[in-house]
Chains A and B, each alone.
Chain A
């Protein structure tokens, strides 16, 4: 009955704006992006999978502290490989600029392969490439030794990784349909996996989501990790204060005027 009365009083007012970051009006906007991200995950789960088998898990990350943790992990990984350094540092900035990060992983690619003999993993006629490189008994894979020299513990069943791609594709399609910005990233997936997100997955892809005036994932400048909106704003705070205090006058008694105006006085 209480809920019925509440429904009769259905009216409200919400201001929504992306400025200033993490203000009430910005958080309302972010909640919209979060709803979009949830629908994107639903789409990921309905993607075509080999044999229609469920194999996808997803996690949503949002809020300043959680995004910062992910961004720092990406920065840590960036410095482990020259091929990653610059792109991953740029992508860490994109994480901080996102509303929500979706991590989508495949829970079967490392443990319960398709066993279809498709050859996509090693180019052979059977599944031996995978099974010869993993610890298993009669085809049941023992994943308890999670140590790995490489950031991803391979090999993986490529048919399952293919299915993960379908899931990510469907999430991205829904993002486009809902007019929120999103792109797929390896850096966010690898960092998220290292932080313990999608713990049952062999490989994880990150899909950041944003609903802002500027798509955070395109059109970045050189040295984006050093020159970006956050840094520019911080630089303004740093410079402007000093620029201000160099001026000395009592504004209540006298304010400097342009030369012409001063003559008329």
Chain B
């Protein structure tokens, strides 16, 4: 007997759906049959370190801002998304295929390279390409499974950076995060959570930076004017490509000062979970 009302039970149930999705990840067919794939589920207050570490990056990287604002806003409304961490061990090859896809002539060379120079990438690496394909098939099965349960979801490299930063899934060196729920339409597509978070000017500036040809005037002179405002001819503006010390300094501050500070704050607590 029972009578469920309100929305809380639905939010809780997303965790159960996440467990079902993890079953699909581990059932996914693979090419090599030799790739170690793991899953973890994180939600509620346990998302706070991930939200915290995304905050400084969100200031400099728009797509991270997008995911950060969405996850944070849902959490603050009491509708925490459930994050499924999916990881794989891909930086050593036990295949002996010597196929060359990784850029090394043999698997042995790849393993030597990985041992000496690997481990510095934001999202892992280096990678055996066939093992990456196995990992990606499994990650895709997570997404497909989530759609079949009709729970809004999005696979994220941004939240995966959080997994990588705190060394969640410690035996894996490539990671992706599937954000699941809350249970409603349009959480991660046409995001309502982003309303009033980005100004018209910022949107316009992003377009100018990312699709500059849309704003280019007659290119005949070789150094064309740019239509960056309504009266673009008075006075005209020109594009320039240059090293930006300001941008690099900002990025360095985020990656080498702010992010490590947050990592140090939570790393022990995260590591302790794997010692049991």
Contact = CB atoms under 8 A, between A and B. Distances in A.
Interface of A: 47-48, 50, 81-84, 117-125, 129-130, 133, 148-156, 158-159, 161-170, 172-173, 182-186, 190, 203, 205
Nearest to A116: B157
Interface stretch (B10-18, B42-50, B89-97, B196-204): B89-97
B144 A169 contact: yes
A117 B122 contact: yes
B114 interface: yes
Interface of B: 28-32, 91, 95-105, 113-114, 117-127, 129-130, 132-141, 143-145, 154-155, 157, 174
Nearest to A190: B99
A172 B31 CA distance: 12
A166 B125 contact: no
Residue among B122, B133, B138, B143 having the largest count of chain A Cβ atoms under 10 Å: B133
Contact of B103 (A50, A129, A159): A129
A154 B122 contact: no
B127 A166 contact: no
The secondary-structure label for the interface of chain B is loop
B137 to A, nearest CB: 4
A125 B252 CA distance: 12
Given A152-B99, A173-B140, 19 more contacts: A47-B140, A48-B143, A48-B154, A48-B155, A118-B125, A119-B120, A121-B102, A122-B118, A150-B98, A158-B127, A161-B127, A162-B132, A162-B135, A165-B139, A165-B140, A166-B137, A168-B137, A173-B144, A184-B30
Given A170-B144, A184-B30, A165 B100 contact: no
B117 to A, nearest CB: 6
Contacts of B102: 121, 154-156
A153 B136 contact: no
Given A122-B121, A163-B136, A173-B141, A81 B127 contact: no
A120 B105 CA distance: 18
Contacts of A163: 136
B31 A166 contact: no
A184 B140 CA distance: 14
Given A169-B140, A173-B141, A205-B31, A123 B126 contact: yes
A145 to B, nearest CB: 14
A35 B65 CA distance: 42
